[in-house]
Chains A and B, each alone.
Chain A
Amino acid sequence: MKRIYLDHAATTPVDPAVVETMLPFFTEYFGNPSSVYTEGRGVKKSIEAARLQIAKAINADPREIYFTGSGSEADNWAIKGIAMKNQAKGKHIITSTIEHHAVLHTCEYLEKQGFEVTYLPVDEDGLISLDDLRNAIRKDTILVTIMFANNEIGTVEPIKEIGEIVKEKGIIFHTDAVQALGNIPVDVKDLNVDLLSISAHKIYGPKGIGALFIRKGVPIDNLIHGGAQERKKRAGTENTAEIVAFGKAAEMATEHLAENAAHMKKLRDLLIKGVMDNIPQVRLNGHPEKRLPGNANFCFDYIEGESILLSLDIIGIAGSSGSACTSGSLDPSHVLLAIGLPAGVAHGSLRLTIGKHTTAEDINYVVDNLIQIIERLRKMSPINADCPIDDAVFDKAAHHHH
């Protein structure tokens, strides 16, 4: 059966051109980039070429790009590295309630180490308020970390405006741009950011390679200690093949940004319209306009997300959900709760994220089938408009965890 992959926010297939670029680095160009002989020097050059490709993709200087083992590592490094280095100045950090766990759990860890963290709330569309940010800034605030674009609901935060406010106060500003790269323009000079995390596997590159942009002069401690790689800032023999792959993927993403984004946006709007026009009792999560071009996130009343995912999977469609039942921890998505959805509504969430290879036929197939799936699951559900959900059950469930 033909598969329709609509989970590009989770990961993307590696582009064949990227695969081609990386393969010789497993065999022919296997040398250790730290070695002084020919095999080493050649590989070192390729890494530096990839660094330049990444730098160009975000309008940075190549000396400001540091490769990491993932987007999560870049987030960890940015936050822990700034906190450790600057704790004499203060121990207060500002973030938002809808960050990726790589940021949230790092902040929670720092709280245990004696740091104080303010988690800015978001409105029903998932946007933070600049006034809230201004009010949260204190004399001892050392870091503000707010994501560029949310991985679940696709909302794009006002990073440039946040950057202006934070810069004026002389505070360090980090943004997790893992979902932004390849989808919307990312320009570190324009955005006033000091640190920015990216990851290759969201832009048709391989998994397990990321990068952290660190503006020149920003005081930061190391996270990974050891050898002198990455100009003594991140130890570990370089993941050469994936670094060159990431470089290639970033170059392609930048080159085709406008056309890819336009393509995804067209299909996203087709999907949103198809669902909203044909399925009753549905809501679109995330900001209606300020959202990633490939992201659609819905909540269908009275039904549960894992049931939707399984039903879609059977007919060849891959999507994801923020339902408690799909989370492993049995907690509903913190992002859906943060935009004010009751746990029972978050239960019926479905995220479909479009990629550069998605077609209009794919979308039409999904909409047609989704109409039937939702209808079937609703017929099976004990709750409906006349028999609404007993919120007490969900309160009890929430209580059970916290």
Chain B
Amino acid sequence: MEYTDVVMENFTCPKHVGEIEDANGVGQVGSPACGDIMKIFLKINGDGVIEDASFKTFGCGAAVASSSMATDMIIGKTIEEAGKFKNSDVVDALGGLPAEKIHCSVLAAEAIQAAIEDYHKNKA
């Protein structure tokens, strides 16, 4: 198994680690494959734009790198745009993942969707 340099960079120096105190959308998902857990925090402004995003991850190198990359990619996007965010977007940005690690990127995409859902729920 071989991780790309981008994966290793995002693992060693992950961006957006931690919690956002005043997050208004929080999503946590567990991987049915290996049991790992990812939590995503979103701060969405009145215009529906993701102002800030952060993560906490209990998982492998690919899971940490996927969380870092995914949060970085959705910051500045509208929730509509982020709603279309797919795990393949993360995989591409990371320069690929080993086949058995694709599910880790799925976790990131699902956690983001869960956080957006949570935001809608909070608003309603």
Q: Which A residues fall within an 8 A CB radius of B?
A: 302-304, 306-307, 310-311, 314, 323-326, 328, 330, 332, 343-344, 347, 379-383, 389-390, 392-394, 396-398, 400
Contacts and interface: CB of A to CB of B under 8 A. Distances in A.
Contacts of A307: 11, 59-61, 64
Interface string B3-24: 1000010011010011000000
The CB with the most chain B CB atoms within 10 A, among A307, A311, A389, A397, is that of A307
A381 to B, nearest CB: 5
Given A307-B64, A330-B100, A382 B33 contact: no
B87 interface: no
25 contacts: A302-B58, A304-B60, A304-B63, A306-B60, A307-B60, A307-B61, A310-B11, A325-B36, A325-B63, A326-B60, A330-B33, A330-B34, A330-B100, A332-B35, A347-B35, A379-B18, A380-B14, A381-B56, A382-B56, A383-B37, A383-B58, A390-B30, A393-B37, A394-B35, A397-B31
Given A314-B12, A397-B30, A325 B60 contact: yes
B61 A382 contact: no
Nearest to A329: B100
Nearest to B100: A328
Nearest to B19: A382
Contacts of A394: 30, 35
Is chain B's binding surface mostly helix, strand, loop or mixed?
A: mixed
Given A314-B12, A390-B30, A397-B30, A380 B56 contact: yes
Is chain A's binding surface mostly helix, strand, loop or mixed?
A: helix
Contacts of B14: 380
B119 to A, nearest CB: 18
A396 B14 CA distance: 28
* 8 nearest A-B pairs in the assembled complex, by CB-CB distance: A393-B30, A325-B60, A397-B35, A382-B56, A382-B39, A306-B60, A324-B34, A394-B35
B32 A303 contact: no
A400 B59 contact: no
The CB with the most chain A CB atoms within 10 A, among B36, B39, B64, is that of B36
B66 interface: no
Nearest to B3: A310
B57 interface: yes
B61 A310 contact: yes
A316 to B, nearest CB: 14
B58 A303 contact: yes
Contacts of B64: 307, 380
B28 A382 contact: yes
Contacts of B34: 324-325, 330, 397
Contacts of A380: 14, 17-18, 56-57, 64
A307 B34 CA distance: 14
The CB with the most chain B CB atoms within 10 A, among A330, A332, A343, A396, is that of A330
